[in-house]
């Protein structure tokens, strides 16, 4: 996840469309398949981000064979979401669910994605952003343990430990509200304070959150990377960690389950992507 900002030139990297039409009916006609799932990534200049999103796409496809799963970006990488939707329309797809690979509400979710979907000829429905959700907390916990977070803390360790939840940041207060909720869920899971902090566009910064925790006697502080994929902000936030820093969420199995959860939720609502608010 990256902060709200104007579009930048794209890295010319394309992802082919995948998926098959539904099985043939008794008279040889194709039965309508399920609505296509379009993962909507932000896009990044860091090539690791595109590789991570592709790995997540593959994991989602593996969990639900037969579901057409595609990728479109808001900026920086090809295919852009508008191009993916145009290609789906050209192939005869009539319905798609857009699942943002974003962790909270903000300008991208409320304006950019609906704006890009507005010109599509096929019917599109917008899923909510990935966060907040318990499956994100499951992923965050796993990444922290992988980085060295103890599975069991002693009482003394608990009194001196904490986590900074490092997110991209947004000017939209709904985004901060979503990040705060994730922080509370993670704090409940870990049994230590979890403070949300931001790389850009919001306060506190990761550095100021770390200083505040140190002043409160919390010296064993981990930085939990609340980013879907590696990139500049994730790297900068991790560099401030006084103890350990976790990897971004990435293609964790729980992330693939969450994508499908959001897809299924969108199918039970009437949230047209071109009119999302």
Q: Taking residues 6-10, what's their average pLDDT?
A: 39
Q: Taking residues 239-253, what's their average pLDDT?
A: 97
The predicted structure's pLDDT at residue 33 = 83
Task: With cut-offs at 50, 70 and 90, classify the pLDDT of residue 275.
Answer: very low
Task: With cut-offs at 50, 70 and 90, classify the pLDDT of residue 124.
Answer: very high
Q: Does the pLDDT value for residue 96 go beyond 80?
A: yes
The predicted structure's pLDDT at residue 129 = 97
d(CA 156, CA 85): 54
How far apart, in Å, do the first and last CA atoms of the chain sit?
19
* Cα dihedral 194/199/204/209 (nearest 10): 50
Q: Beta-strand (E) ranges in 105-233?
A: 123-126, 161-167, 194-198, 220-225
Q: Are 182 and 132 in contact (CB under 8 A)?
A: yes
Catalytic-labelled residue, pool 27, 42, 107, 123: 42
123 given a catalytic annotation = no
Q: Does the pLDDT value for residue 265 go beyond 70?
A: yes
Crossing angle (nearest 10°) for helices 173-190 and 134-147: 60
d(CA 247, CA 226): 9
Residue 28, φ and ψ in degrees, nearest 5: 85, 0
Q: Does the pLDDT value for residue 273 go beyond 80?
A: no
d(CA 250, CA 228): 5
Residue 97, φ and ψ in degrees, nearest 5: -110, 125
Q: Taking residues 160-182, what's their average pLDDT?
A: 96
Residue 239, φ and ψ in degrees, nearest 5: -65, -20
The predicted structure's pLDDT at residue 29 = 42
Is pLDDT larger for residue 90 or for residue 28? Answer: 90
DSSP 30-94: BPP-PPEEEEEE---SSHHHHHHHHHHHHHHHHHSTT--EEEEESSSBSSBHHHHHHHHHHTT--
């Amino acid at each position: 996840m990256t902060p709200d900002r104007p579009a930048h030139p794209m890295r010319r990297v394309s992802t082919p469309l995948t998926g098959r039409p539904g099985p043939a009916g008794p008279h040889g006609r194709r039965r309508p398949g399920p609505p296509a799932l379009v993962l909507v990534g932000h896009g990044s200049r860091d090539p690791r981000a595109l590789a991570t999103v592709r790995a997540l796409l593959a994991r989602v496809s593996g969990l639900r064979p037969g579901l057409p799963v595609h990728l479109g970006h808001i900026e920086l990488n090809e295919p852009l979401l508008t191009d993916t939707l145009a290609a789906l329309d050209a192939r005869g797809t009539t319905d798609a669910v857009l699942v943002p690979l974003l962790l909270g509400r903000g300008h991208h979710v409320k304006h950019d994605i609906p704006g890009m979907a507005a010109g599509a000829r096929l019917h599109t429905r917008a899923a909510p952003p990935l966060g907040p959700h318990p499956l994100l907390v499951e992923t965050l916990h796993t990444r922290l343990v992988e980085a060295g977070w103890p599975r069991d803390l002693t009482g003394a360790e608990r009194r001196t430990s904490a986590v900074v939840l490092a997110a991209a940041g947004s000017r939209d207060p709904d985004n901060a509200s979503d990040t705060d909720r994730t922080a509370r869920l993670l704090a409940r899971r870990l049994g230590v304070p979890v403070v949300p902090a931001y790389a850009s566009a919001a306060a506190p910064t990761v550095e100021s959150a770390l200083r505040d925790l140190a002043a409160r006697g919390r010296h064993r502080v981990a930085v939990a990377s609340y980013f879907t994929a590696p990139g500049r902000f994730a790297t900068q936030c991790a560099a401030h960690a006084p103890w350990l820093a976790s990897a971004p969420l990435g293609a964790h199995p729980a992330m693939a389950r969450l994508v499908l959860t959001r897809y299924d939720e969108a199918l039970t609502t009437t949230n047209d992507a071109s009119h999302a608010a």
